[in-house]
Structure 1
């Protein structure tokens, strides 16, 4: 199969879109398929990935991210490559142009929805502009042959916006890299000694430090005895969140990846996710794979990933006190090591079969579906 992948984010930018695109390209390379990638240009953008050509198009910077702009190069590249299918990762301006170009040359397209438009609009008080944003989303995704959504909340949002031709597609997790056995790795033991010198319960977070991640919620944990916060990631809110959490036992670990990130998970006791705008929640799956209980808001992607009371807790994002608040549920886990271990094991079991290989094999099925749907129906003449 020949697959053209167009993405709104790629290396060296690291985020959920980039990570999933890399996993898809890895799978295509390992499975013997052919592919190209079209991505926004940034400093140090690679010219190839896993043997696939990377075509960088002009971009402008927005909030530390390059945003790809429509460019005549897109249709030329697609026409020259002659793909069987177009994969549009979190399509915006660049993805919208690529889907339109694919339609002009008769190539079916699969769009991957990964942006919580409703949450962004609410947080930024966009009001009537939110309706315009959803119209733009509907225009982009209705042009695609199929839109893949990562969660039930995303599906509801898109159905309400009038988007049709939807299917669910989650994300895989590397259950070998993220594994409870790493807790005894010397690097994890050393890091834990640094994070919890007096035997504190380590509450970990992994992700961007940005407004939509709502790390300000960690202030609700102020005053809980015997805890240590470990925050992995960086971003535009680092300074403001640091000021808010001043006086709390916080260790900033910065951006991590690969083995270092796996070691960080292994040094945690509990994983705490704070944002309500996640369309999926890949770090939750990584935490489960590492054998950690998860505390996350009852909103967005986490609702599908956390079995409340089984492998973690879902808190009411509007509750500051009471049994459903983030603070109360974290306290339950802080005081009970047995509960942490039991929930962590349940989480590990829940994701054990959710490999990238199985998820990407499912993706090939979606590709095959839209390709077949575009094939002309043979006309059988009556004898």
Structure 2
């Protein structure tokens, strides 16, 4: 199979989208498929974008992108597959978020030269939208992976009036795609309400070898909790949409120490909001697995998670979870068995559920065993084989090429 992957985000920046793609590429390499990755450059050279403009960016992207040219950086190959880079710029104050420049025509030429059987569009929004349009013009089926609830970010970043416009972009992308893959029941129902058809369920795998209870580090625990404190930890970006500041309700809990793993634009502000917490910075690989397995309770307060991979990694590490009852966690956490869910916005409930597990050794151990067992069949090879099945289904629905590369009509247009 020849597969083109158009990635909204990719190396050298690590996040949920990149992590998933690396596992997919590894799987495709083992199968012997031919793959092309199209992604934003990883350049750290970018102009200053004022905060006032950054907030309005989704509405003015075409004008901004038309005048921007940047250096190309990042790996040229991953798992032996070529990576073609498009110029990009970083959002002000958040250099790990890249927005790719380039036209639909440029993406169409890249795809046309490669001649894929299917185009995998990862978390599409800006570059991904061009990928869907370009593939449609070439008559190549697209599998769009819905992974980021971008419209929900509007309120978190102080521009709630943009949310309807962002949902319009999501609708345009996924109505035009051949298939849309959703990671959770919540995401499926959400897209159904927005009139998006041809939805299929595709979750995420977890590395049950890398993340497991044997990674627990007693020396690290002794350093962080010299008086036997329970370690309650969060892993993820330190950004507004993750709501890490909600963990402030735990800072005065006796016998509990907070652990915060990750980096992002709110790092310094959170240091002030969470006194006494240990900020581990960005961690990956076995180092991350060691920290996660050394926790007693994992907590995730974000309400905009379409899946939440770090919950699976905590469970694989034998750590029970306390998470908000919205989005992906609804499928991942079996409340009262593998962890607790609390009502969104109910920070008293968050505190009470952490206290329940931190203060009851027997219950915490039982939840930990159940959490570990619950993810053992969700390995990446299993999930990637499912993805291949979705590719094959999309290929049976191949659209017709549009002569001259003309802009396609959305398939949902009536009449």
Q: TM-score, normalised by structure 1?
A: 0.93
Contact kept, 8 Å, 1:70 with 1:93, in 2: the verdict is no
Cα distance change of structure 1 residues 320 and 76 upon mapping to structure 2, 3 Å threshold: closer
Q: Deviations over 1:188-223 (max 9, x none)?
A: 222111111111101111111111111111111132
- Structure 1 distance, partners of 2:89, 2:157, is 21
1:229-240 pair list within 5 angstroms = 229-240=258-269
Separation (CA, whole Å) in 1 of partners of 2:251 and 2:291: 22
Partner of 1:150: 183
Aligned residue for 2:284? 257
Structure 1: where are the runs of 5+ without partners?
377-383
User: What corresponds to 2:118 in structure 1?
Assistant: 85
Deviation string, structure 1 residues 250-279 (Cα, Å, up to 9, x no partner): 111110000101111121111011111111
Counterpart for residue 223 of structure 1: 252
Q: Kindly indicate whether residue 387 of structure 2 is the aligned counterpart of residue 354 of structure 1.
A: no
Aligned residues: 367
Quick one: which of 305, 309, 317 aligns to 2:336?
Answer: 309
Residue 277 of structure 1 contacts residue 299 of structure 1 at CA under 8 Å; is this kept in 2?
yes
| Equivalent residue number for residue 179 of structure 1 | 212
Moved more, 68-77 or 141-150: 68-77
Supply the RMSD in Å over aligned alpha carbons: 1.4
Give per-residue Cα distances to partners, 1:131-172, cap 9 Å, x unaligned: 221111111111110000111111122111111111111000
Please state if 1:109 is matched with 2:137: no
Tell me the CA shift for residue 373 of structure 1.
Answer: 2.1
The separation in 2 between residues aligned to 1:320 and 1:302, in whole angstroms, is: 16
Do the aligned partners of residues 53 and 268 (structure 1) sit closer, same or farther apart at CA in structure 2, a change above 3 Å counting? same
Structure 1 residue ranges, 4+ long, deviating more than 6 angstroms after superposition: none
Deviation at 1:177? 0.7
Instruction: Give ranges in structure 2 of 5+ residues lacking alignment.
Output: 44-72, 401-415
Give the Å deviation of 1:173: 0.1
Q: How does 1:20-31 map to 2 (within 5 A)?
A: 20-31=20-31
Greater RCO structure (CA 8 Å; 6+ sep): 2
Residue matched to 1:335: 359
CA distance in 1, matches of 2:101, 2:380: 30
Which of the numbers 227, 231, 237 marks the counterpart of 1:198?
227
TM-score after normalising by structure 2? 0.86
> How far does residue 296 in structure 1 lie from its aligned partner after superposition?
0.2
**Counterpart of 2:330 in 1: which secondary structure?**
helix
Which residue of the partner structure matches residue 99 of structure 2? 67
Equivalents in 1 of 2:347, 2:29: separation in Å? 48
C-alpha distance in 2 between matches for 1:88 and 1:319:
36
User: 2: CA distance between counterparts of 1:309 and 1:82?
Assistant: 50
